[in-house]
Structure 1
Amino acid sequence: MAEIDELSGTDRAGLLLLAVGQKHAAAVFKHLEPKEVQLLGMSMASLENIRSEMVEVVVEQFLEQIRDQTALGLNSDAYIRQVMTEALGEDRASAVIDRILLSRNSRGIEQIKWMEPRAIAELVRLEHPQIIAIILSLLDAPLAAAVLGFLPEMMRPDIVMRIASLETVQPDALRELDAIMERQLSGKSMKSSNIGGIERAAEILNMTESAVEAQIIDQMEEKAPDLAQLIQDKMFVFDDLDKLDDRSMQTLLREVSTDTLLLALRGADEALKEKIFSNMSRRAAEMLRDDLEAAPPAKLSEVEAAQKEILQIARRLADAGEIALGGGGDELI
């Protein structure tokens, strides 16, 4: 079991939920997003050899963080906007805030987040591409990418281009979503919300299977080459991980299994390999080099899947503020 200083933020949250007991932990889970439930559940399942002093430190840190937060519950929208803006900057925070607040007021959106990707695709595939683009923009990128993979092949480039072109969604568009999901959204006194955009389209494509991603980009390059290039400029690919600072790389490596890393590095360039080796202990680096040399050939699809898995971990850590991604554009998260 890692020492308390080596635990990630997710692990600390999982440890805190284990400490408060089943009843209180269940009450917290009711207010979390599906992705958050999954991440916390995995973290809680992996924790072992927990010592009492570790629990005390985590609880003490939690109490310290919330002690002066008297604004919670009072004009919470303004509080969320202020905190997110301070943390992410005004430009990046704007789209994130609108997605958070819009989803919070929508039982329909919350319900769809718990559905299987194939079921969501079946629900929306006969709708207008603009409606599909809005729905995917409101989902977390991994889920949106999975849904995209189940949609008809000819629809995908158009949908991604529409996501990239989205700037705001008007109340009448939200009312169309009401009809699709057969749920009443809060349309009264609702302002236009910022969703979609180039970075959102790039984020979804980053989470899409490599074959589907390549097909979508090829078709977009034929239909709208300028837009396709803007999206590709914002995409973060596996080899871009060599732009991580040493601390971020070390944090990422702690979250990646050895088997996944070994498979992913089959298709990596030498610069990234050296970056990874330099952020491991000498013994671990030597073992990984030896394993790479002795490893049998692997299918390209398996290598790409392993790289996608590591990219998803990197984005999760970046979303949690535990690492900083760079490359591929001005800002990626």
Structure 2
Amino acid sequence: MATTVAKIKEDKQLTGPQKAAIFMLALGAEDAASLWEMFDDDEIRELSTTMATLGTIQATNVEKLLVEFASKISGTGALVGSYESTERLLLKFLPEDRVTNVMDEIRGPAGRTMWEKLGNVHETVLASYLKNEYPQTVAVVLSKIRTEHAARVLTCLPEDFALEVVTRMLRMESVQKEILDKVEKTLRSEFMSNLSRTNRRDSHELMAEIFNNFDRQTETRFLAMLEERAAPSAEKIKALMFTFEDLGKLDPGGIQTLLRAVDKNKLGIALKGSSDTLRDLFFANMSERAAKILREDMNLMGPVRLKDVDEAQTTMVNIAKDLASKGEIMLATDSEENELIY
């Protein structure tokens, strides 16, 4: 997950948690240790979340906020709050397993409580997890999140299972606190922690996305240079990149969904520069009449500039990624283990 950088220009823009976060960063690990030990888990999570997303705080702003510590702070220069620096700081005075739990949660979806966080998890992701749980457990979860979000999750569940969940919700009376606590604990330890780890951005994944947006010549040039200096990294980036030809790994339903979302002029230009196999695959998923018209349009185009082909193919790849992020299609590489999730 990419760190949010917030530049704070004036003290009056600071919220209470931001002021507290800057204060703790300025104190440093040793001086702040006794204060951290006095916080409960919820306070540590809230403060850690704020610290991790502060970004760069200029020294002048730190000094204005902490006048009584100006002599010490003025020598530290700017402070940088990030997930990594926050985790290093917490590890100095908290047990590793407790730090892991805190960091996993703040890297996950936004929200103070578990139920608020679940409300910010995409319905297809949440449904994918809940479909393996007991209907009664799912009924409890859906009764605690926003009704509109619960409705979207239900539509993503298998029909028979969803009906069973609805039946349990109709019969459900007030849930005992012990049961609710147990469900919340399970969600926190099994679902949220795994979700937050999935959301962590690997540097090679980030570079693969950047390379995906290069034109073909720039991509080739940078990969060639990288192969000379860091061949293993170059290979990993190439393996993670999702290219236009990878659209050939979509299932028929995915291709048809993509076809409905792509401008037909862009499609023709993109297919002019594709392999015969990929071109035939797209034609096979169109009506006979539509395929015939597209072939005729492509023939009438004549020669097409490589730059225009690259642009059209990049547009299609980006549309495919957007559809995948909404759960409408599934992007995959050579195997299920190497599935790309955007």
Q: TM-score, normalised by structure 1?
A: 0.45
Bigger radius of gyration, 1 or 2?
2
